[in-house]
Amino acid sequence: MAEMADLVHIEEIMRKRLNEELYQHSLGVAQTASLLAGRYGVEARKAYLTGLVHDFGKSYTPAELRRLAERKRLALDWVALAEPKLLHAPVGAALLAEEFGISDPQIVRAVALHTTGGREMNLFDKVIYLADVIEPGRSYSGVEEIREAAFKDLESALLLAVNNTIRSVLARDMLLHPDSIEFRNSLLAAKKGMEGG
Ligand SMILES: [Fe+2]
Ligand SMILES: [Fe+2]
């Protein structure tokens, strides 16, 4: 786990590597993740650190991300490779060890899953996913409802969030990753008490 000095150092690297807007977003996700972590009983400092680095992959161009995915021999499906918006998550996760000395599997996993979500999301993954979509800098329509639900009922907030993400992917004519569908189905099935949820 990173010490305080490491955290300041990592913030400095992120500030240099990301544009101002994305850097502010990263700080917002870090703070929100640490609040949600406190609420749901996962490690707040770890959640802060994960929020801080979750978009590190966005410091690369789509072409660089594809090259890095190859270099790291990431076993990615064609949708993740074809849609640059998706690729920054698994590639960023794969670079955390060499860039920041972060090899904690919980952090690496949550960063890899933060954009699509997935069928088997653990509590820590969910906290990071949700923090990313409700941090104070987010202003899309519907965000207030998700923010309100976030501290009351994690699963309901996540269902609202993934529904919103899928709608926006459709509206923008982007490729929809199957893991997002899996994520939504598992949340909805659990809510309805269906088998497999
Ligand atoms: Fe991201
Ligand atoms: Fe993000």
pLDDT in the model for residue 2: 60
Six-digit token string for 42: 């996962």
Domain extents for the chain?
A: 4-140
- Percentage of the chain surpassing pLDDT 70? 97
Alpha-carbon distance of 115 to 47, in angstroms, equals 16
* Confidence at 194, pLDDT banded by 50, 70, 90: confident
> Averaged over 40-66, what is the pLDDT?
97
Six-digit token string for 162: 């993934």
> Averaged over 156-182, what is the pLDDT?
97
pLDDT in the model for residue 133: 98
Beta strands in 28-152 (DSSP E): none
Q: Separation of 67 CA from ligand 1 center, angstroms?
A: 18
Q: Taking 80 as the threshold, does the pLDDT of residue 4 lie above it? A: no
Q: Separation of 195 CA from ligand 2 center, angstroms?
A: 32
Between residues 46 and 85, which one has the greater pLDDT?
46
In this structure, CATH architecture of domain 4-140: Orthogonal Bundle (1.10)
Alpha-carbon distance of 174 to 106, in angstroms, equals 29
* Confidence at 98, pLDDT banded by 50, 70, 90: very high
Average confidence score pLDDT of the chain: 95
Q: State which residues have CB under 5 angstroms from ligand 1, the bound ion.
A: 55
Q: Separation of 92 CA from ligand 1 center, angstroms?
A: 9
Nearest-ligand number for the alpha carbon of 28: 2
Q: Separation of 91 CA from ligand 2 center, angstroms?
A: 14
Alpha-carbon distance of 160 to 145, in angstroms, equals 8
The pTM of the full predicted model, rounded to 2 decimals, is 0.95
pLDDT in the model for residue 5: 63
pLDDT in the model for residue 24: 98
pLDDT in the model for residue 1: 57
> Averaged over 58-85, what is the pLDDT?
94
Q: Separation of 132 CA from ligand 2 center, angstroms?
A: 5
Tens of pLDDT, residue by residue over 78-94, are 999 999 789 999 999 99
> Averaged over 156-171, what is the pLDDT?
97
